[in-house]
Chains A and B, each alone.
Chain A
């Protein structure tokens, strides 16, 4: 049996190659090229982890079905994910993504927004194939899942943008988790797992248990991502280190720091979080980062993630524990350790 990391990498690569082929086949061959399909195709080629389609396909196959039944949904998830990334980067003013300039940094904001729209529109195409693969009844259920996924994602993003816009500083970890459940978990873990389990079990799976597992896994994934943004290396992480601080994002570490600083430090922090990215200097960013070390915000977030991963293990056992011991079930199980111990 391969080691955990090698197994996960192999599994993800296997899914990724299948999804990449399906995505490539679904791209229009005509124009416009330079302002739409060329930058869109280039963005899709950048190395992503394909965690969302992998979770969808694994949940489907773990229930005994085949990858083909979940593939259209998995492709749609990957296209939507890339659409969200491009729009997120515009909203956040991010400068690098997957080791290269963001779409808007390279092609300008108008083209970036339209390419993001294009990816979202293209995601509808594989979903229409579901009616032939799954029949109209299951197709309708899957479409309802996608509808809820999309709504939660934009609502979660709106909550976070609203916090930044209104400089909300009295946040608890419950506020943070509820935002992350919508903004990240819905489309990264919860609905990929739900859709895969729904298709694979033909409606028999207990989706409430799947949702619990997805939320714990997704929240651990997001906090780890936020930690990497502070402690990782740009070469591996693919995004600028400290970018979240520059953007004024309300991460768990920022929420913790807000709750533990007092006096002038807190005044500085509240003032730092107000305003726009261009108003935050490198020195100020480094000061906030140093405050996090002093107040133990990084350690707090690491412990918090560890607790979430413990809950994910328990939720996994309830949601998938009774299924046969296959490589797909193993992938779902090891996804917990994978998301919290990754360095990219």
Chain B
């Protein structure tokens, strides 16, 4: 190290800093930027950056939407029943909606009009309830022709503070013979991404 004039100290500092920078960059190994820097003005660059952000964020939305549609298509082809014949609602995330496809079978020779579904409260085997699961059905009422089956999308809103666990309940159909349909919702203890921040 030098104790001489400021020029000598400056030279030493420059060399030491260059060496430290080189060592650091070697370690980081950044990929080259995406090559948009020579495409025009700063304003254009900023526009491209914002566009890329919007595309990326929405790509997640599109991906999630496709996953949801895929799940719904699966449900239509393979009714979401477990081995015990229960309807499984998914995805079971606290603070989000869970859904499953209910198949209504009319084994009679008489068509049934205006069939509506009613969901019960959901509870764990220890009796911990989701008192108001916010059941909704789409469509709200259906006509079921004779000797046929129709599907209804059943949805619950899992309250944000719901503890993880397995919750069971039933769905009953008014105006249609048969016992209530057993329903199971498995709540996974994960915090979902808040949609309003997207």
Contacts and interface: CB of A to CB of B under 8 A. Distances in A.
B30 A137 contact: no
Chain B, interface size: which category?
A: 35 or more
Interface stretch (A7-15, A61-69, A230-238, A332-340): A61-69
B147 interface: no
Given A137-B59, A205-B33, A260-B1, A307 B14 contact: yes
Contacts of B6: 303, 306
A171 to B, nearest CB: 9
Q: What 3 pairs across the A-B complex have the smallest Cβ distances? A: A64-B46, A307-B13, A135-B56
Given A174-B20, A211-B28, A215-B21, A202 B52 contact: yes
B10 to A, nearest CB: 4
Given A202-B53, A296-B3, 12 more contacts: A64-B50, A132-B198, A172-B1, A173-B16, A174-B20, A177-B16, A181-B24, A203-B52, A204-B36, A204-B45, A308-B17, A311-B17
Interface in B1-31: 1-3, 6, 9-10, 12-17, 19-21, 23-25, 28, 30
B21 A300 contact: no
B42 interface: yes
A200 B49 contact: yes
Interface string B33-45: 1101100001101
Chain A contact residues: over half helix, strand or loop, or mixed?
A: helix
A219 B24 CA distance: 13
B140 interface: no
Contact of A129 (B2, B12, B197): B197
A16 interface: no
Interface residues of A, number: 56
Interface of B: 1-3, 6, 9-10, 12-17, 19-21, 23-25, 28, 30, 33-34, 36-37, 42-43, 45-46, 48-50, 52-53, 56-60, 191, 193-195, 197-198
A178 B23 contact: yes
Interface in A66-85: 69
A330 interface: no
Contacts of B43: 64, 324
A300 B17 contact: no
Interface of A: 63-65, 69, 128-129, 131-138, 148, 172-174, 176-178, 180-182, 190, 200-208, 211-212, 215-216, 219, 255-256, 259-260, 295-296, 300, 303-304, 306-308, 310-311, 322-324
A222 to B, nearest CB: 12
B53 A134 contact: yes
Nearest to B49: A202
Given A172-B1, A173-B1, A178-B19, A208 B9 contact: no
Contacts of B191: 128
B1 A259 contact: yes
B49 A201 contact: yes
Contact of A63 (B1, B19, B49, B57): B49
Contacts of A203: 33-34, 49, 52
Given A65-B53, A211-B21, A323-B42, A135 B16 contact: no
A304 B9 contact: yes
29 contacts: A65-B46, A129-B197, A132-B193, A132-B198, A135-B53, A135-B58, A173-B13, A176-B16, A177-B16, A177-B17, A181-B20, A201-B49, A202-B50, A203-B49, A203-B52, A204-B33, A204-B48, A206-B33, A207-B30, A215-B17, A255-B1, A260-B1, A260-B3, A303-B6, A303-B10, A307-B9, A307-B10, A307-B12, A308-B17
A132 B60 CA distance: 9
A134 B60 CA distance: 10
Nearest to B46: A64
Contacts of A131: 60, 193
B53 A303 contact: no
Query: Which of A128, A134, A135, A296 counts the most chain B CB atoms within 10 A?
Result: A135
B20 A177 contact: yes
| Residue in B1, B34, B45, B46 with the greatest tally of chain A CB atoms within 10 Å | B1
Contacts of A212: 21, 25
A315 to B, nearest CB: 9
Nearest to A259: B1
Contacts of B25: 208, 211-212
A215 B1 CA distance: 20
A132 B197 contact: yes
Which of A148, A300, A322 has the most B CB atoms < 10 Å from its CB?
A: A300
A215 B25 CA distance: 10
A72 to B, nearest CB: 10
Contact of A208 (B30, B37, B49, B195): B30
B65 to A, nearest CB: 14
A136 B61 CA distance: 10
